[in-house]
Amino acid sequence: TVVLGIESSCDETAAALVTGGRRILAQRIASQDADHAPYGGVVPEIAARAHAERLTPLIDAVLDEAGLSLGDCDAIAATAGPGLIGGVMVGLVTAKALAMASDKPLIAVNHLEGHALSPRLADPNLAFPYALLLVSGGHCQILRVDGVGRYRRLATTIDDALGEAFDKTAKILGLGYPGGPAVERLALEGDPKAVPLPRPLVGSAEPHFSFAGLKSAVLRAHESGAYTRADIAASFQQAAIDCIHNRLSRALERMGEVSALVVAGGVAANARVRTALEELATSGGLRFVAPPPALCTDNAAMIAWAGIERLGQGASDPLDIAARPRWPLDPTAEPARGAGV
Binding residues for substrate: 134-138, 167, 180, 184, 270
Binding mask 268-297 for ligand ATP (x = CB under 6 A): -xx--------------------------x
- Contact between 91 and ligand ATP (CB under 6 A)? no
CA distance 41 to 250: 33
- If contact means CB under 5 to 8 A according to the sort of partner, which of Fe ion, ligand ATP, Mg ion, none does residue 109 touch? none
- Contact between 324 and ligand ATP (CB under 6 A)? no
Binding mask 131-150 for ligand ATP (x = CB under 6 A): -----xxxx-----------
- If contact means CB under 5 to 8 A according to the sort of partner, which of Fe ion, ligand ATP, Mg ion, none does residue 122 touch? none
- What sign results for the dihedral spanned by CA atoms 67, 71, 75, 77? positive
- Of 184, 231, 309, 317, the one binding ligand ATP by CB under 6 A: 184
Q: Which is nearer to ligand ATP, 110 or 316 (CB)?
A: 110
Phi-psi region of 233 (alpha: psi -120 to 50; beta: other; left: phi over 0): alpha
Judge if the upstream peptide bond of residue 178 is cis by omega within 30 degrees of 0. Answer: yes
Stretch that binds Mg ion, among 12-20, 225-233, 241-249, 323-331 (CB under 5 A): 12-20
CA distance 341 to 339: 7
Kindly state the DSSP code that residue 209 receives in the 8-state scheme: B
- Contact between 32 and Fe ion (CB under 5 A)? no
- Contact between 11 and Mg ion (CB under 5 A)? yes
- Of 86, 119, 178, 307, the one binding ligand ATP by CB under 6 A: 178
Residues 6+ apart with CB under 8 A from 322: 80
- Of 27, 32, 110, 136, the one binding Fe ion by CB under 5 A: 136
CA distance 255 to 153: 10
Please say whether the beta carbons of 315 and 98 come within 8 A: no
- Of 20, 40, 44, 181, the one binding ligand ATP by CB under 6 A: 181
CA distance 320 to 268: 34
Stretch that binds ligand ATP, among 96-104, 266-274, 280-288, 323-331 (CB under 6 A): 266-274
Phi-psi region of 70 (alpha: psi -120 to 50; beta: other; left: phi over 0): alpha
Binding mask 147-176 for ligand ATP (x = CB under 6 A): ----------------xx-xx---------
- Binding site for Fe cation, by residue number, is 111, 115, 298
- If contact means CB under 5 to 8 A according to the sort of partner, which of ligand ATP, Fe ion, Mg ion, none does residue 163 touch? ligand ATP
- If contact means CB under 5 to 8 A according to the sort of partner, which of ligand ATP, Mg ion, Fe ion, none does residue 317 touch? none
Contacts of 17-20 with CB under 8 Å at 24 or more apart are 17/62, 17/63, 17/66, 17/68, 17/73, 17/304, 18/121, 18/301, 18/304, 18/305, 18/308, 19/308, 20/308, 20/312
Residues 6+ apart with CB under 8 A from 269: 180, 181, 293, 294, 296, 297
CA distance 39 to 126: 40
Residue from 118, 141, 111 nearest 9 by CA = 111
Q: Which residues bind ligand ATP (CB under 6 A)?
A: 9-10, 83, 111, 115, 136-139, 163-164, 166-167, 178-181, 184, 265-267, 269-270, 297-298
Q: Which residues bind Mg ion (CB under 5 A)?
A: 11-12
Q: Which residues bind Fe ion (CB under 5 A)?
A: 136, 298
